[in-house]
Structure 1
Amino acid sequence: MKKPRVLMADDHSLILAGLRKLVEGECDVVGTVEDGRALVEEAQKLRPDLILLDISMPLLNGLEAARQLRTLVPESKLIFLTMHASPTYATEAFQAGACGYLLKRSAASELSLAIQSVLQGQHYLTPSFTKDVLQSVLKPSSGERGKAASTALTSRQREVLQLVAEGRGTKEIATILCVSVKTVEFHKSRIMQQLDIHTIADLTKYAITHGITGL
């Protein structure tokens, strides 16, 4: 039987090496990347059956990457493997297109179970959450869906905000996003205006608090 093809993304090379050893018995690891932008690029080239990804990654976080992947490679199943144990992150992950969500502290057997479940067309959420949380994450109410999905910023603004919070200059951000310096400056100005934030330090705090960057 042909092994499912998997692409893995995490900003720690040791974790990627460990994950490879865990899954290579049942999966064909076709690639590993260490940031969200590389993930989106490689996923389009490789068209894997399965993508294992973290939330906190440089250049583009896993949630934003998932939103793009849902459109660009809808056939690829996404499983988040992260340290974030908050139901808020799990809810947002599923709304971004995830099929599975488990924690890095989970046992190796749980990862195998998650992979099998997702490849069979099911959703998988770590049992580390309580039953009430499981239900609210997998079947959020209309109010919860609106709350989790609502954001004061557009996808592009969140991308710019993450790069600013990572300490990248305007020219570097423009190069990464393939836009002009003026466009980046416009987005930064709009972000600060919309959030009523006036310093880069406070922008960084906002980005960390709202899970846009994992600094």
Structure 2
Amino acid sequence: MKKPRILLADDHRMVAEGVRGLLEPDYELIGIVEDGRALLEAVDRLRPDALVVDISMPLLNGIDAVRQIKKRHKSVAVIFLTMHVDVDYAASAFEAGALGYVLKHSASSELLTAISCGLKGKTYITPLLAGELLQYQRERPAVSGDAFSQLTPRQREVLQLITEGFSVKESAAILGISSRTVEFHKYTMIESLGLKSSAELIRFAVQHAKGVSRAGVRLACDLTPSSSR
């Protein structure tokens, strides 16, 4: 039987090599990329069955990368493998289109279960966050007014690059747009967010780095590896 094809995105080489060892007995690991923009290109080129993605990555974070990927490749199963023990991150991951959320320190016991669930179209959330996420969903506001969520995908890309220290010219080259367009997005964000300077925009980005979205999450798969069938 042909093995499902997995693409891994993580900028920590030691973590990536450890995940490779977990995956290779049951899956075909078709590539490892180290930033969000490389992930976009690799998905278009390799057409994997599933992605294992970190959240915190250079150039484009995993959540925003997955938002873009799911618009073009709706059937790909996405599992986030992250260090973030934070229900806000988990909610944002599922809103972006993920089917799994696993913590890196639990990868050896949970990742294969999460991938198996995702390939079946079912949802897996690490047991450490499952109860908290359900409570979060019950208590969340009906409508989110979060300023970060109002930014366009391109604006979030520009904002991440600026926050990482890239110049306007460097950001333009990475995104394949003009420096003038980057400046336009930058100052549009400053104006729409009611800020006064680039420094305030960077502080805003740091404070709202999660890009939290309040979308619903359906916990539809086994909540513990031991309960898998």
Question: Do both share a fold (TM > 0.5)?
Answer: yes
Question: Residues 29 and 67 from structure 1, CA distance in 2 versus in 1: closer, same or farther, beyond 3 angstroms?
Answer: same
**Letter aligned with residue 21 of structure 1:** G
Deviations 1:95-148 (A, max 9, x none): 1000000111214021111111112221000001252x24246x6678357467
Deviations 1:173-204 (A, max 9, x none): 11111111111111111111122333434323
**Letter aligned with residue 202 of structure 2:** T
Q: 1:33 and 1:140 mapped to 2: Cα distance?
A: 36
Match of 2:194 in 1: 196
Segment of structure 1 superposing worse, 189-198 or 74-83: 189-198
Match of 2:169 in 1: 171
Match of 2:117 in 1: 117
Match of 1:25 in 2: 25
**Letter aligned with residue 134 of structure 2:** Q
Segment of structure 1 superposing worse, 59-68 or 194-203: 194-203
Taking CA–CA contacts closer than 8 Å with sequence separation of 6 or more, which of the two structures ends up with the larger relative contact order? Answer: 2
Instruction: Quote the sequence identity (%).
Output: 47
For structure 2, the residue ranges without an aligned partner over 5 or more in a row are: 212-229
Q: 1:119 and 1:79 mapped to 2: Cα distance?
A: 10
**Letter aligned with residue 82 of structure 2:** T
Matched residue of 1:106: which SS?
helix
Match of 2:225 in 1: none
1:154 aligns with 2:152: yes
Question: Residues 118 and 136 from structure 1, CA distance in 2 versus in 1: closer, same or farther, beyond 3 angstroms?
Answer: farther
Kept in 2, the 8 Å contact 1:40–1:69? The answer is yes
Q: 2:135 and 2:166 mapped to 1: Cα distance?
A: 37
Deviations 1:17-61 (A, max 9, x none): 111011111110000000000001000111101100011111110
**Letter aligned with residue 91 of structure 1:** A
The within-5 A match list for 1:48-127 is 48-127=48-127
1:5 aligns with 2:9: no
Deviant stretches of 4+, over 4 Å: 139-142, 147-150
Q: Return the offset for 1:65.
A: 0.4
Q: 2:195 and 2:84 mapped to 1: Cα distance?
A: 26
Kept in 1, the 8 Å contact 2:147–2:193? The answer is no
Provide the aligned length of Structure 1 versus Structure 2. Answer: 211
**Letter aligned with residue 135 of structure 1:** L
Q: 1:79 and 1:145 mapped to 2: Cα distance?
A: 26
Kept in 2, the 8 Å contact 1:3–1:26? The answer is yes
Matched residue of 1:75: which SS?
coil
**TM-score of the pair, normalised by structure 2:** 0.85
Kept in 2, the 8 Å contact 1:160–1:187? The answer is yes
**Letter aligned with residue 153 of structure 1:** L
CA RMSD of aligned residues (A): 2.2
For structure 1, the residue ranges without an aligned partner over 5 or more in a row are: none
Kept in 2, the 8 Å contact 1:158–1:212? The answer is no
Q: Return the offset for 1:150.
A: 6.8
Question: Residues 129 and 75 from structure 1, CA distance in 2 versus in 1: closer, same or farther, beyond 3 angstroms?
Answer: same
